[in-house]
């Protein structure tokens, strides 16, 4: 590993932790209703929103009411975004005169942005009007991230409260997530991006004459305002089809660093919020340590594979044979590998390089990270995802010591285990069944641009990215077909709400429990031993569930590459 590359990785991690600690404590104050520096500015706006919408802020919800509110809000938002796309040709702020989006693509995009996935089977600059980009996609970038954060906070309350019937108020959690956290950071971040060269305007596209005498159309638009929240909210959908490889979205190495920090900051901060709200910071340390360990291991694997490159081209005498294949030359191998790991570990989906051009092992990393969804994960989704694995681990540890499993002084019983298992199995079933259907049908295989195991990896990546609510793509797959628009769209909805509902059920069940004093047989849920056991459970469950399909895709492709066969 080059020294400069190692220093880049260390700088990123140091800055991330330095920012995550204060933000995590600040978010704990926001969700617990304590005073913050933004109360004078946001308090009146919050009260106005409640007055206009009829929300009773002081009235809390049980888990079923919370779940109904989550579903109602998100499916109404999905319907409105679907209609906006179908009618954008008749609406203002459309200087290029884009017509209605096809119904299947409109369904896919609506499901994508509502579920915090931002899978894009289209190029934004040639499909969506400014109104759709701002009033539709950018708005959903805010509220879909806020939904995940609200669910995470509801689960924290369920774990922290004693014999309670409620887990908070969804409308309050949603509103405070947007006003106190996402919006202020986005305003500052957007101004910074504009200062670095990210464009922000409502001008028509510009047609210029090139040096060769030809004519080129340069897409313009309100990019910075969408760019910052796509990163901060772990959304990922770019204004341009090239996403963060486009110089109008990501012009400099400094913006590349800031955008990666924006992707990671909320998922890395939430463990500190968790520790503060449950009154035990050791729990936060344990969860964060596992997240960091998984992230660093897979970053090392990605970087090593990409630096090594393809030995077949190396045999031709080319220095660093395929290291820059598909990479953004402004950021190099380290910047591209780090961005790849960040965006798939965190379920963001924004990319600054071509994932389809990664080495087979390099492509394995983002796929497996999305399957695990625990190395930081999405905004809110990462925390409640890893806490599901904590519950599974506590159950296994309880069996080891011959005692009823306990977590934070509460017994883990049949109901919690059933919900935790559902939260793990539902996404796995969506990924595997979706990929199997694609591989077994003409509608699925006709979109594959590469034969052999790489083609399987392209299909697997699509359904993994959709189900994990990531949104990045291998880009070697023509996903803008009825089959993939509907199939991946359904996978997004299943992956999002098929996990949220069991998590909220766990929150409600745990909130109602009494706290049992720790005894001699209580298995500690902090420290190195429990962290090691938690990592083992995550990796073993992931390996047992997904190893067969990974073996048929990126793993066998890597072995065949060493044998002289490429696809």
Tens of pLDDT, residue by residue over 227-264, are 999 999 999 888 998 899 899 999 999 999 999 999 99
Cα(531)–Cα(271) distance, integer angstroms:
14
CA dihedral 275, 281, 286, 288 (to 10 degrees): 60
Beta carbons within 8 Å of 372's beta carbon, 6+ residues apart: 294, 538, 539, 542
Find the Cα–Cα–Cα–Cα dihedral 499, 239, 17, 42, rounded to 10°. Answer: -80
Where do the structural domains in the chain lie, given as residue ranges?
282-562
Q: How far apart are CA 425 and CA 93, in angstroms?
A: 43
CB–CB of 231/118 below 8 Å?
A: no
- What is the secondary structure of 396-448 as a DSSP string? HHHHHHTS--EETTEE--HHHHHHHHHHHHHHHHHHHHHHHHHHHSHHHHTTB
The tens digit of pLDDT for each residue in 505-540 reads 999 999 999 988 877 777 889 999 999 999 999 999
Listed in sequence order, the DSSP H helices in 451-567 are: 452-467, 482-511, 528-550, 556-562
Determine the Cα–Cα distance for residues 492 and 471; give it in Å rounded to an integer: 9
- In this predicted model, what pLDDT tens digit does every residue of 426-466 receive, in sequence order? 999 999 999 999 999 999 999 998 888 999 999 999 999 99
Q: How much is the pTM?
A: 0.95
Q: What is the mean predicted confidence (pLDDT) over 402-411?
A: 86
- Cβ neighbors of 132 (< 8 A, separation 6 or more) are 84, 85, 88, 101
Average pLDDT, the chain: 93
Distance of alpha carbon 411 from alpha carbon 398, whole angstroms = 10
- pLDDT for residue 332 is more than 90: no
Instruction: Output the CA–CA distances (angstroms, integers) from residue 238 to 19, 122, 440, in the order listed.
Output: 25, 10, 31
Predicted local confidence at residue 321, as pLDDT: 45
The alpha-carbon radius of gyration of the chain (Å, integer) is 23
Q: How far is CA 138 from CA 117, 135, 145, 172, 228, in A?
A: 13, 6, 11, 21, 10
Relative to beta strand 406-407, strand 410-411 is antiparallel
C-alpha–C-alpha distance, residues 365 and 336, integer Å: 13
Inter-residue contact 62 to 165 (CB < 8 Å): yes
Read off the pLDDT of residues 61-89 as tens digits, 9 standing for 90 and up. 999 999 999 999 999 999 999 999 999 99
**Least confident among 24-28, 267-271, 333-337:** 333-337
Per the rule left: phi > 0, alpha: psi between -120 and 50, beta: everything else, 190 is alpha
- Alpha helices in 207-280, H assignment, sequence order: 224-232, 253-278
* Cβ contacts of 149 within 8 Å, gap of 6 or more: 173, 177, 181, 266, 270, 379, 380
Judge whether residue 327 has pLDDT over 80. no
pLDDT at 212 over 90: no
From the list 357, 237, 345, the residue with the least C-alpha distance to 300 is 345
């Amino acid at each position: 590993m080059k020294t400069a590359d190692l220093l880049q990785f260390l700088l990123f991690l140091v800055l991330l932790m330095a920012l995550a600690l204060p933000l995590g404590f600040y978010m704990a104050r926001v969700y617990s209703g304590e005073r913050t520096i933004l109360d004078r500015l946001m308090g009146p706006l919050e009260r106005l929103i409640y007055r206009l919408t009829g929300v009773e802020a002081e009235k809390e919800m049980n888990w079923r009411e919370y779940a109904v509110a989550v579903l109602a809000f998100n499916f109404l938002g999905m319907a409105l975004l679907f209609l906006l796309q179908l009618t954008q040709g008749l609406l203002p702020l459309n200087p290029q005169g884009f017509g209605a989006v096809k119904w299947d693509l409109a369904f896919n995009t609506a499901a994508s942005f509502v579920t915090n996935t931002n899978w894009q089977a289209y190029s934004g600059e040639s499909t969506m009007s400014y109104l759709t980009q701002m009033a539709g996609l950018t708005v959903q970038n805010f509220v879909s991230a806020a939904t995940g954060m609200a669910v995470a906070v509801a689960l924290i309350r369920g774990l922290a409260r004693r014999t309670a019937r409620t887990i908070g108020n969804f409308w309050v959690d949603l509103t405070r997530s947007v006003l106190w956290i996402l919006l202020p950071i986005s305003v500052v971040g957007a101004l910074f991006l504009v200062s670095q060269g990210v464009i922000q305007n409502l001008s028509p596209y510009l047609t210029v004459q090139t040096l060769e005498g030809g004519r080129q159309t340069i897409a313009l638009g309100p990019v910075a305002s969408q760019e910052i929240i796509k990163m901060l909210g772990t959304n990922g959908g770019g204004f341009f089809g090239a996403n963060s490889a486009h110089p109008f979205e990501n012009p400099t190495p400094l913006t590349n660093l800031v955008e990666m920090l924006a992707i990671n900051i909320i998922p890395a901060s939430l463990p500190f919020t968790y520790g503060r709200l449950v009154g035990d910071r050791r729990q936060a340390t344990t969860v964060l340590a596992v997240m960091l360990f998984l992230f660093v291991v897979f970053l090392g694997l990605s970087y090593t594979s990409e630096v090594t490159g393809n030995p077949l081209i190396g045999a031709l005498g080319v220095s660093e044979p395929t290291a820059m294949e598909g990479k953004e030359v402004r950021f190099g191998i380290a910047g591209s590998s780090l961005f790849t790991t960040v965006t798939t570990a965190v379920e963001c989906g924004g990319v600054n390089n071509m994932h389809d051009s990664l080495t087979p092992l390099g492509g394995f990393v983002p796929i497996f990270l999305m399957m695990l969804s625990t190395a930081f994960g999405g905004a809110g989704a990462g925390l409640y995802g890893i806490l599901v694995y904590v519950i599974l681990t506590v159950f296994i540890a309880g069996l080891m010591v011959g005692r009823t499993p306990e977590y934070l002084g509460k017994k883990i019983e049949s109901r919690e285990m059933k919900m935790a298992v559902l939260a793990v199995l539902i996404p796995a079933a969506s990924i595997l069944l979706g990929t199997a259907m694609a591989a077994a049908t003409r509608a699925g295989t006709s979109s594959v641009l590469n034969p052999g195991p790489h083609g399987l990896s392209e299909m697997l990546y699509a359904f993994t990215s959709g189900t994990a609510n990531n949104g990045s793509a291998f880009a070697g797959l023509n996903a803008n077909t009825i089959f993939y628009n509907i199939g991946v769209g359904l996978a997004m909805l299943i992956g999002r709400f098929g996990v949220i509902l069991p998590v909220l059920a766990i929150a409600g069940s745990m909130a109602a429990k009494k706290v049992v004093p720790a005894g001699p047989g209580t298995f500690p849920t902090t420290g190195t031993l429990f962290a090691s056991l938690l990592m083992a459970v995550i990796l073993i469950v992931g390996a047992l569930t997904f190893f067969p399909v990974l073996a048929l895709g990126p793993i066998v492709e890597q072995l065949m590459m060493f044998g002289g066969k490429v696809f």
